[in-house]
Amino acid sequence: MNKFKCNFISEFLFIKLFGAVILTFISSPVISWSALGHELTARIAYELMTPDTRLEVDKILNGESFESVSTWADRIKIDRKETEYFHYINFIATKTALTGKPETTSPKNVVSGIVLYKDILQRSNASSQEKKEALSFLIHFFGDIHQPLHNSLDGTNGGNDIKVKFFNEETNLHKVWDNLLLKQAGFSKEEYFQNLMNMCKDFDQNSIRNENYMDWALESNQIALTKGYDITPDHVLGKTYYENNIPVINQRLVTGGIHLAQMLNKVFDKKYQEVTADNLLSGNHDQTSILSMLFQYLATDSLSMALIKFERLLSPNTSKNQTQ
């Protein structure tokens, strides 16, 4: 197994180097990207899904791409006011401290939104339109729940009410996290996506296997409090704030993509439950299944992507405590 993995790693390094050389010759326009975070999360998830899951989600989306529907929930917010609360969650610090459990300003929030639309997605009597909407909402809300400032404390509208200067631009803290930090990185969407996919394989899977949405929101909230709101008294933010926080944003985008892929794989791919790294390592799985998974990846992905996924499948850092 070790030699096997080593070969993969050396192939990875070669592909990475080759990719870096190619990328330097491609121009890198800074794209208009208010939607960038959502699109990147969706794209990572789509890459990490199994082929069977992809078939199912493509069927539901009926010709629209997984990435393009990721921003639909924002576009319809004005007409569908009842969905507005599902884009964020605000915790009440004092009450939470008092009761020891998460107390929120509204029972309608990003966590309950995910629970609601996942339920609709799985209902056997849901119409195809209901399923398409449910899936589109889920793709979007998986982005929002991983954006720290969408998981904030009561009182600042997720940082919308905190005026700041970011690299000399008058703005607010929420926009810095929704848009400006990503924009400052200066990558094209394609470059950003490739960088994040490279990060995927280094992830500690123990930290991402848990499917408890409130835990994810609280994790984002912790990041908002310790990093997002940690600004200088003059509210002037620049290089230091960017350098401290861009790795955090990248980590949240990757985590969101992995979470979304895992959730959809569990919903749509019967085989996925069986071919987990847990089962592989405990010897519950025969070699034919492992190889068949590799061939499935090779049939549908680029070589580098197939290898990333296969590496992830063989990663020993997995946890057995999956909660719903």
Residue 157 binds ligand ADE (CB under 6 A): yes
Stretch that binds ligand ADE, among 8-16, 149-157, 163-171, 239-247 (CB under 6 A): 149-157
Site for ligand ADE in 73-92 (CB under 6 A): 88, 90
| CA distance linking residue 170 with residue 166, whole number of Å | 7
Candidates 154, 157, 149, 257; CA nearest to 201 is: 257
Q: Are 209 and 319 spatial neighbours (Cβ–Cβ below 8 Å)?
A: yes
Site for ligand ADE in 225-284 (CB under 6 A): none
Q: Which of 43, 131, 150, 259 binds ligand ADE (CB under 6 A)?
A: 150
Q: Which of 104, 136, 152, 262 binds ligand ADE (CB under 6 A)?
A: 152
Tokens of 286: 């025969």
Q: Which of 47, 56, 178, 219 binds Zn ion (CB under 5 A)?
A: 178
| CA distance linking residue 133 with residue 52, whole number of Å | 20
Stretch that binds ligand ADE, among 3-11, 151-159, 207-215, 242-250 (CB under 6 A): 151-159
- Using CA atoms, how far residue 29 sits from 186, 188, 189, in Å, is 8, 6, 9
| CA distance linking residue 185 with residue 182, whole number of Å | 5
Q: Which residue's CB is nearer to Zn ion, number 143 or number 214?
A: 143
How many residues at the interface with ligand ADE, by CB under 6 A?
Answer: 6
Query: Which residues does 131 contact at the CB level (< 8 Å), separation at least 6?
Result: 60, 120, 121
Site for ligand ADE in 88-147 (CB under 6 A): 88, 90
Return residues touching Zn ion (CB under 5 A). Answer: 87, 144, 178
Please give the residue ranges that form the binding site for ligand ADE (CB under 6 A). 88, 90, 150, 152, 157-158
